[in-house]
Amino acid sequence: MNIVGNPTSAVEETLDPQDWEAVRRLGHRMVDDLVEQLSTVRQRPVWQRVPDPVRAALREPLPVHGQPLEHVYEEFRSRVRPYPTGNIHPRFWGWVMGTGTVTGALADLLAAGMNSSVSIFDDAPSLVEEQVTRWFVEAMGFPETASGLLVSGGSMANLVGLAVARNARAGHDVRAHGVGGTIFTLYASSETHNSVAKAVELLGLGREHLRKVAVDGDFRIDTGALATAIEADRAAGRRPLAVIANAGTVNTGAVDPLHALADLCAREGLWLHVDGAFGAMAALSPELRPRVAGIERADSLAFDLHKWAYAPLEVGCVLVRQADEHRAAFAAAADYLAAARGGLVARREKFSDMGVQLSRNFRSLKLWMMLKEHGFAKLGRLVAQNVAQARHLAALVDAQPALERVAPVPLNVVCFRYRGGLSEPAALDALNRELVVRLHESGIAAPSGTLVRGSYAVRAAITNHRSRRDDFRILVDACLDIGRELEKTT
């Protein structure tokens, strides 16, 4: 890098603007554009490929010298904003991604303006995060003594929960001595999200010691097979550590039998971690809560809030039943972090003692504002609305002879495929794979694709507060049109 310029200039510089009034006007424009963008999102394609000239423009040499912020914003408007992932759109149902809200976006502005670190300090942002996590402790039916931490999302929530499990249950001081030669085993259904395996790998436990237990016809873990696997590991001298239960599997939304797993874990002395990435939100709806009954018995529970709580990225939450075990997994003494009798570090309970990060942003503000604005009751109704929309979509699919549903719909995920007159598995897979690509490229709708029992399926995971019933008819019509077109050329 060839940075030419004065060494230290004589006049002290700052990153503050010379003209605050100009920034104020530009900020107003940004708000206007944001409102325009979100209130008209339905009129635009769900997704569109970044055109090659824009791709080229987004590869620039390192900017040695600056330019007016207004110019930078114009580049954002022309090169960046038109090409989002698409999950703000009412017909985006790919993977599991939340819609975001305008309140959440404004809250991120306010949070970044304060720029507080929610960590070891005695300040209002720390109190707000405490408040928000206490609300989720209550909403999930955890005991008041449980601890909670907001994290970047489900992957980190799973990592934190399993780190606590490892450190609390290994039987030796893993933090000091390491994992060592003992083989610790963990158990989860074959439908479990990859972030669990990633956490097991990162914790040094070895992916092959995460037993992928078979599922039943509804994609729920087979508790008999689980018990057999635990017994076999014990007999072989390995040390069973934890069961990871799914509240909403990524592929089909299946919920493992949580009460049965909690009973089994209690009997066997195993840690029960629930990955409730999106499914845990069913607990917020009185009508859906029975579907995740037993979730309140977990030793640790991970869930996203940027998925089915619709908050903008990034925010997830991990709850740990025994707060002392939570802190024991991460707490550390360091000279530069010591608490004091008063001032900035009068605070005794440090957020950094409950997870990986020391510096942490004020991500709780968007939850605090959204939950106070809308209330938990409405959030629960929206979750139930998405589940009703999934049932509606399933019915639309079932009514079409050319389409075929390939999994039950226990919650908000619908897996189906175009079948038409085809029966050859490879041809069906190829057609449906191409169908998803063409749907994306059409801009009409964005489901994702996955393999269900080895067959490629179109998958709609509905965690979208902008979707309306009619949007699902549009999806089905597009699948039929594209499917028929593709079938002709097969």
Question: Within 102-161, which residues bind a copy of itself (CB under 8 A)?
Answer: 102-106, 108-117, 121-125, 127-128, 131, 135, 138-139, 141, 152-156, 159
In 50-130, the DSSP E strands lie at none
Pairing status of strand 316-320 against strand 300-304: antiparallel
Q: Which of residues 257-286 bind a copy of itself (CB under 8 A)?
A: 284-286
Taking CB under 8 A as the criterion, the residue among 144, 177, 237, 489 binding a copy of itself is 177
Q: How far is the CB of 46 from a copy of itself (least distance, A)?
A: 9
User: Cβ contacts of residue 87 below 8 Å, gap of 6+?
Assistant: 94, 97, 98, 99, 100, 446, 464
Cβ 369 vs Cβ 363: under 8 Å: no
- 384 near a copy of itself, rule: CB under 8 A: yes
Total residues at the site for a copy of itself (CB under 8 A)? 194
- Comparison of 35 and 266: residue with beta carbon closer to a copy of itself: 35
Residue 408 found at the interface with a copy of itself (CB under 8 A): no
> Counting contacts by CB under 8 A, is residue 239 touching a copy of itself?
no
Verify binding: residue 18, a copy of itself, rule CB under 8 A.
no
Contact partners, residue 462, CB within 8 Å, separation at least 6: 93, 386, 387, 389, 390, 393, 412, 413, 414
| Residue 93 makes contact with a copy of itself by CB under 8 A | no
The verdict on 205 binding a copy of itself (CB under 8 A) reads yes
Provide the 8-state DSSP code for 407: S
485 lines the binding site for a copy of itself (CB under 8 A)? no
Handedness of CA 45, 281, 307, 376 (dihedral sign): positive
User: Cα(438)–Cα(66) distance, rounded to whole angstroms?
Assistant: 41
Residues 412 to 471 in contact with a copy of itself, rule: CB under 8 A: 433-434, 436-441, 446, 448-451, 459, 465-466, 468-469
How many CB atoms sit inside 10 A of residue 190's CB?
Answer: 14
Q: Check: CB of residue 151 under 8 Å from CB of residue 157.
A: yes
**DSSP letter (8 states) at residue 215:** B
Among 245, 264, 313, 317, binds a copy of itself (CB under 8 A): 313
Handedness of CA 409, 411, 417, 421 (dihedral sign): positive
180 scored as a contact of a copy of itself (CB under 8 A): yes
Residues 46-75 that bind a copy of itself (CB under 8 A): 47, 49-50, 54-55, 58-60, 62-69, 72-73, 75
Task: Record the tokens describing residue 177, joined without a space.
Answer: 């001595």
Comparing CA positions, the residue from 383, 379, 382, 404 lying closest to residue 394 is 404
- Which range, of 214-222, 228-236, 254-262, 353-361, touches a copy of itself by CB under 8 A? 353-361
- By CB under 8 A, is residue 335 in contact with a copy of itself? yes
**Rounded to the nearest whole angstrom, what is the least distance from the CB of residue 359 to a copy of itself in the complex?**
5
Which lies closer to a copy of itself via its Cβ, residue 264 or residue 363? 363
> Which residue in 210, 89, 212 sits closest to 467, CA to CA?
89
**Which residue in 178, 224, 290, 425 binds a copy of itself (CB under 8 A)?**
178
Instruction: Please report, as a single letter, which amino acid is at residue 159.
Output: L
> Residue 30 interacts with a copy of itself (CB under 8 A)?
yes
Q: Is 34 in the site for a copy of itself (CB under 8 A)?
A: yes
Of 45, 183, 263, 293, which one interacts with a copy of itself (CB under 8 A)? 183
